[in-house]
Amino acid sequence: METVLDCVVNYIHDANDRNSFSLVSHTCYDVDAKTRRHVTAHLCYATPLRCRQRFPFIKSLTLTGSPHIVNVTSSPCNWDHNVNPWVQEIAASFKRLKVVRFQNLVVHDSDLELIARTRGEKLKVLEIDSCSGFSTDGLLCIGKYCNHLRILSLENSSISEKDGGWLHELALQNTRIESLNLYKAGLTKFNVNDLALVAKKCSQSLVSVKISEHYDFIDLVEFFGYAIKLEDFGGGRFGNNNAFVMNHMNGINQFGNNNFVMNPIAQRDKYRDFKFPPKLKYLALNHMGRKDIVLPFAHLITQLDIQYVYDGGYNYRNYSLIENCPNLEILYITAVTNDTGLEQLSTYCKNLRKLYATSRMGHVTDKGLFALATGCPKLECLHINLSSITYYIMAYIGMQMKNLMDLSMVLLNKGVRKKNLVLDKCIRTLLIGCNKLERLSICFEELGGLSDESLKNIGMCGYNLRYLSLGYVGESDAGLLELSFGCPKLQNLVIKNCPFSKEAFDIFRCNVPSLRYFEVQGIPRHCRYLLEEDQPNFKQIV
């Protein structure tokens, strides 16, 4: 029997399916424990000893903390974000480990050094995303001892940068790096020659590199020349840095001469021969300074991230680039988004699957949403901020976007909601139409966005919802209780500024056995509480 199960279980990859399999019998539990290769542990309730006892043969470990504790030295609400006990266990017990991921945690240089010295020979993937507490000294240890790295990611981490020697060491010791992600990590002291050395030594494997906007593209020519298989690039800049521009605006040059005049022709000419690698199809830009360099291969781009482009006004440059990306599938844009922009997307990007348009300065109404729902029926993920909405467009979205799995809406205008807002009438229609929805986030800017009846409808029609986030919704405890009678697969619930009591939360927890994570923000002080530690797989924070 165990032999049969051993053969079958290797084809079960989804964590939820694995968990269900392990509950069938003691034998299935043991087989799962022996064959599980990847584990994700939330430090708020997991312990390294328990993980090692349950899954002794894992090859991949992801540790996550609270999403709100980056750049802090103390954990709120008893969140344990100290990664050291886990690092000690990794060094002592998890001898097959090849993949380590830290997310939203405080990681120290000593932790990185211990991992590098004990697991460096086998470690292929190290991701330290949205973390703090370490410096480039820790990265230097990674560079010295981890000589088989395939992926190194430091995205959005807060790092104390002393020098750039760590990248030189990394380049010397590794020849198979596939992805190097330093995006929004503030690392600006490494030498671009070392980045070029990484590309030279890993030319046959390197497909993804993301750096800061500190480095001018003209200084990356050698890097791009070696990175012949590069498909994903983020960062860089065209033109002068901000300090130079400010000095020019003030009429001052490096010689103290206030008669200096910038030559725009010379600035354009220096990029005349610059070219991106031919296979590039994922691009993240910080500004649109030289659109003409991107346009020749724009038809190849499938993922475009321009959420950090700080151009003012309508952002014609952004959308004129998008017009030339017919194969675009994923778009991040947080600059000014409006109906005209969404109409252009619907016209030129028929294959769009994911759209993150979360500007708080745009003006998106039914007109833009109608165009998007009509022209982009393949959308699976939509995050958007709205200035207004009607019943008909919500019903139309439910009718058109049958593939939608992730929907996040924020209604920005304050004072527009009194009683019976449109979403009260159409949330049921939307959920019935978009029956594949697994993630739903609805947030208003003042209380009363959804009535208790709407919460009841979410419960009744949210058959596949696993994640639900609600802000400024509900009228009383009755709405939360009605919600608890539905959503049979709900695992994560985030409540923001909603008028629910402690008793209602207790009942909700009991009525939804699938719940694993419960976060409450901004409720009245008399409602605040921490959940009793009576369920080892459950945690609430306030």
**173 and 274 housed in the same domain:** no
**84 and 118 housed in the same domain:** yes
Q: How many residues does the chain have?
A: 542
Q: Residue 211 is encoded by which pair of tokens? A: 């750096």
**126 and 228 housed in the same domain:** no
**152 and 137 housed in the same domain:** yes
445 lies in some domain = no
Radius of gyration of the chain (CA): 25
516 lies in some domain = no
**138 and 116 housed in the same domain:** yes
Report pLDDT for 376. 94
Report pLDDT for 110. 96
**118 and 220 housed in the same domain:** no
472 lies in some domain = no
Number of domains in the chain: 2
* Burial (CB count <10 Å: 0-12, 13-18, 19+), residue 38: middle
**53 and 109 housed in the same domain:** yes
**107 and 168 housed in the same domain:** yes
Task: Identify the H or E element spanning 194.
Answer: helix 192-201
Report pLDDT for 255. 32
Q: Measure the CA dihedral 313/344/184/169, to 10°.
A: -130
**72 and 170 housed in the same domain:** yes
Angle between helix axes 26-35 and 2-9 (nearest 10 degrees) is 50
Among 293, 313, 333, identify where a domain stops. 313
CB atoms closer than 10 angstroms to residue 534: 7
Contacts of residue 242, Cβ cutoff 8 Å, sequence gap at least 6 = none
292 lies in some domain = yes
Q: Specify the CATH number for the domain of residue 60.
A: 3.80.10.10
Q: Residue 186 is encoded by which pair of tokens? A: 């503030």
**232 and 114 housed in the same domain:** no
| pLDDT tens across the length of the chain (542 residues) | 566 666 777 777 777 778 777 878 888 888 888 888 899 988 877 889 999 999 999 999 999 987 643 333 333 444 557 899 999 999 999 999 999 999 999 999 999 999 999 999 999 999 999 999 999 999 999 999 999 999 999 999 999 999 999 999 999 999 999 999 999 999 999 999 999 999 999 999 999 999 998 898 889 999 999 999 999 999 988 765 443 333 333 333 333 344 434 444 445 567 777 888 989 999 998 776 667 778 888 899 999 998 877 654 445 556 778 888 999 999 998 766 788 889 999 999 999 999 998 887 778 888 999 999 999 999 999 999 988 888 888 889 999 999 999 999 988 765 444 444 567 778 888 999 999 999 999 988 777 678 888 899 999 999 999 999 998 888 889 999 999 999 999 989 998 888 888 888 889 989 998 888 888 877 544 333 333 333 334 343 33
178 lies in some domain = yes
Q: Where are the alpha helices (DSSP H) in 365-475?
A: 366-375, 391-400, 422-433, 452-461
Among 257, 287, 313, identify where a domain stops. 313
**89 and 164 housed in the same domain:** yes
Amino acid identity at 405: M
78 lies in some domain = yes
291 lies in some domain = yes
Report pLDDT for 318. 64
Helix (H, G, I), strand (E, B) or coil at 174: coil
Domain that holds residue 288: 191-241+269-313
Closest by Cα among 534, 525, 528 to 502: 528
541 lies in some domain = no
**130 and 228 housed in the same domain:** no
Among 163, 184, 205, identify where a domain stops. 184
